[in-house]
Amino acid sequence: MLGSAIRIAADAQKYFTLRLKRDLITDGMYRYIPALGDGSMALALAAGSQV
């Protein structure tokens, strides 16, 4: 759940940043967070499959 929320927030930041300026995103949430969001979602799926 947390991983999904992080990923959605990062994607929203990417969308609105690219609407204003077509360039490489070098700051903000999208620089660091997508891997954390993906990792936490994968961990949750792995934990859920063990039930």
Q: What confidence tens digit (pLDDT) does each residue in 1-51 have? A: 666 777 788 788 888 888 888 877 777 776 666 566 667 777 777 887 775
Q: What does each C-alpha distance from 5 to 33, 44, 51 come to in angstroms?
A: 11, 13, 23
Predicted pLDDT at 18: 85
- In angstroms, the Cα distances linking 51 to 18, 34, 44, 46 are 41, 27, 11, 10
Model pLDDT, residue 35: 65
Those residues with Cβ within 8 angstroms of residue 37's Cβ, 6 or more apart along the chain or in another chain: 3, 4, 6, 7, 10
The pLDDT value recorded for residue 31 is 66
* pTM of this structure: 0.53
Query: How much is the pLDDT for 33?
Result: 62
Residue 36 confidence (pLDDT): 64
What's the number of domains the chain is made of?
1
Domain holding 42, by residue range, is 2-49
Q: Cα(7)–Cα(29) distance, rounded to whole angstroms?
A: 10
Provide the strand spans (E) within the chain.
none
